[in-house]
Chains A and B, each alone.
Chain A
Amino acid sequence: MAETTFAPTTARAGGIRRRTDAARAALTRSVLLHVVMILGALAMFFPFYWTVVTSLTPGSGLGSTPSLIPADASLEAYQRLFADLPFARVVGNSLLLATVTTLAQLFTSATAAYAFSRLPFRGRTVVFGIYLATMMIPLQVLVVPLFAELRAWGLVDTYLGALLPTLAAAFGVFLLRQAMNQVPFELDEAAALDGAGHFRIFWTVILPNIRPALATLAVFAFMGSWNSFLWPLVVLRSPELQTLPVALAGLQGQYTTQWDIVMAGSVVSILPMLAIYLFAQKYVIQGVANTGLK
């Protein structure tokens, strides 16, 4: 096409054709990529869609073939959700615990990660290993001694009792340490030359440069607390203090389960998480602009 119109030299003709072919190949690749990603997204989205459909189908059992379009769609399940449970209270409890946990973990993880990344000391690797070791025993086994401990301090059935074990988590320390290790020491150096001590370096140099990791940790810490089941089940008993997953489990009775309400509860449970995640994504993307490389 190009050759006939412009009658270019052989070299240029080859060049333009190569570029057009490349452009076409790129377009095909792009379209293919879009298609694959969208198909994948549908696969990811389908269970959520099915949850919503079931929640809109009143009095539904779990049919062997869930319908794609809700029959007699109604918001009855959601209404009953708020009527049968002190749902607003329950959601409030979960929100409170999750928020405090997230803030606490951001703080405790960042400080510890700074020590493991920037403050060499004898036995540092061993101590880091001990931190990691705290992730290696399943909660199922820790629950009983932990409960006995909190009971000895009179903290059973209190917000504090539910919160204390969640204030620090090695997961966050590990995540942030990895991120901090990628911040070049040159930046520390520069700040030190300006007379900054460790606290200032931590606050003005390190933290701003690990925003994506901080945002990621915030999402996971929030999610961990929001979906946490075993510990709140065991330590919180009063209906005023119950959290969402435990309240939802309560919808499954001894003999029968009201699936439409369970699904409605699941939908309501997912939405705040999704909001937090999408909000946090902004900070993850900003990352490159703030790495301060060069």
Chain B
Amino acid sequence: MRTTALAGVGIVAATALALTGCSAGDSSGEADGPVTITYTNFISNGGNEENLQAIVDAFEEENPDITVEVTTLPYADYGTALQTDLAAGTVSDVFDIEYANFAQYQANGVLAELDPEDPSAYRTSVLEAYQSDGTQYALPSSFSTVVLFYNADLFEAAGVETPTADWTWADEQAAAEQLTDEAAGVWGDHQPVSFYEYYKVLAQNGGEFLNEDGTAVAFNTPEGVEAAEWLVGKSGTVMPTIEDGQGTPDFDTNLFLDGKLAMLHTGIWMFGAFADVPFGWDIAVEPGNTQQASALFSNAVGVSAGSEHQEAAAAFAEYLTSSDVMVQTRLDAGWELPATSDEAALDSYLTLGNPENRQAVFDSLENVALPPVVAEGQQEMQDIMTEELVEAQAGRKSVQEALDSAEERINAAIGG
């Protein structure tokens, strides 16, 4: 009795699975009349839920036939929930994606083709990041860049010139060394040792992370080694070591907040957190070596290829990412930067107060280092790179050994 029941349930479960495999593909035609679409996001998490609601409300007012049901998930676990949805065919009509996952989702056909009414409303570089062969598959909702923050007071006290747009690694290194005072617990420069920093400094040194067709890595070159050493070499000299706590959550920002860090590589999302510090601070575009390159992070929204309300979903996606309401809401709330091409609207951003040199945010967009993406093995590639670099940072491997090992392992992960 038990065995038969077991088999029975197993068959039911397997059938359900098979059914879900089929269901991802069917999308019926548009229904006339009132439509309800679902939107799953993580971008509003952690404080911006009301701002998102304001944008949704405005959309619903302009489109009385469409109701939007919003679900907000924690960022860290969004991937788990989204993938479960995609596997079972329950993904929302519209959903958030990160740039790093775009290639994979697009390659697996889960994103619908989009045809925005007004592509000129977007910043070209960010918009193009979400195209494949000229077809738009997602629309950018926001972007952030990584810049160099610095503690102006510490610079003044040490009599060192503050960073300018012409700085190179050498200048940064020299300043960092002068500003480091281990005895007083003051450090010169903090830059995380991770995949996210590496592909950027690689670009700053004229190197490439992947080869032309994205099937193998291309960083194991003299430029690549130099770039890795730029990252790894800071540990223990101008930056605390891992044993001191470097790499733990908020370590770098806390050090900066305490006034114990002269320079810090982090994202513009920290503006709000640094607003009330007791010392003067500002930002500058990250110095490069042979060229400048700044890291660009962006989030986007996609429409599910299996959605039954393609039109309504696409309309919402476009509204969410390019409407004036959205631009204004984001700027007012300091909620990342909208990927809009409307320079006038962004002007207000420049005068919002600390830091003064907000122009650097837009300057950093001149030379962007986009994350390398592959259709398969993206996360593994990132994990392996970070792991190997940390091995070098901890002194357990030489930089060359780490790069050799990373090359071998990553090629295996993305080539197969």
Contacts and interface: CB of A to CB of B under 8 A. Distances in A.
Touch between chains A and B, by CB atoms below 8 Å: yes
Contacts of B13: 145, 148-149
A63 B257 CA distance: 10
Q: Place the interface of chain B in its size category.
A: 35 or more
A143 interface: yes
Contact of A237 (B17, B40, B43, B144): B40
Nearest to B253: A61
Contacts of A147: 84, 87-88, 90
Interface in A208-234: 230, 233-234
Interface string A237-273: 1110000001001111111111100000000000000
A249 B72 CA distance: 11
A152 interface: yes
B84 A255 contact: no
B413 to A, nearest CB: 21
Interface stretch (B155-163, B265-273, B362-370): B265-273
A254 B141 CA distance: 14
A250 B273 contact: no
Interface string A66-91: 00000000000000000010000000
B254 A64 contact: yes
A148 B85 CA distance: 9
B53 to A, nearest CB: 11
Contacts of B40: 237
B19 A252 contact: no
Contact of B269 (A130, A143, A145, A256): A256
Range class of the A interface residue count: 20 to 34
A250 to B, nearest CB: 4
Interface string B196-216: 000000000000000000000
B173 interface: no
Contact of A252 (B2, B74, B84, B90): B74
A252 B257 contact: no
B46 A254 contact: yes
B64 interface: no
A23 interface: no
Most A C-beta atoms less than 10 A away, residue of B2, B13, B81, B254: B81
B249 interface: yes
Contact of B72 (A234, A250, A257, A258): A250
Given A62-B250, A64-B245, A249-B77, A239 B72 contact: yes
Contacts of B249: 62, 257
Contacts of B250: 61-62, 257, 259
Nearest to A80: B47
Interface string B220-256: 0000000000000000000000000100111101100
Determine which residue in A237, A254, A255, A257 has the highest number of CB atoms from chain B within 10 A of its CB, and name it: A254
A62 B273 CA distance: 13
B74 A249 contact: yes
A257 B46 CA distance: 7
Contact of B16 (A152, A234, A258): A152
Contacts of A143: 84
B4 interface: no
B76 interface: yes
B46 A258 contact: yes
A60 to B, nearest CB: 10
A144 B40 CA distance: 19
Interface string B46-82: 1101000000000000000000010111111100110
B42 A63 contact: no
A250 B46 contact: yes
A254 B87 contact: no
Contacts of A61: 250, 253-254, 257, 273
A109 to B, nearest CB: 19
Nearest to B98: A254
A252 B270 contact: no
A255 B42 CA distance: 11
Nearest to A146: B13
Given A143-B84, A253-B45, A256-B270, A246 B74 contact: yes
A26 B73 CA distance: 58
A256 B90 contact: no
B412 interface: no
A258 B80 contact: no
Contacts of B45: 250, 253-254
Contact of B73 (A144, A145, A151, A250): A250
B20 interface: yes
A14 B219 CA distance: 86
B287 interface: no
A149 B74 CA distance: 24
Nearest to B96: A254
Contacts of B74: 233, 246, 249-252
A149 B299 CA distance: 31
Interface string B78-117: 0011001001111000000000000000000000000000
11 contacts: A61-B254, A61-B273, A84-B47, A84-B49, A144-B87, A145-B13, A148-B13, A152-B16, A250-B45, A253-B47, A256-B46
Interface of B: 2, 12-13, 16-17, 19-20, 40, 42-43, 45-47, 49, 69, 71-77, 80-81, 84, 87-90, 144, 245, 248-251, 253-254, 257, 267, 269-270, 273, 299
Given A254-B75, A254-B299, 11 more contacts: A61-B250, A62-B250, A143-B84, A148-B13, A151-B88, A233-B81, A237-B81, A249-B77, A250-B46, A252-B74, A258-B46
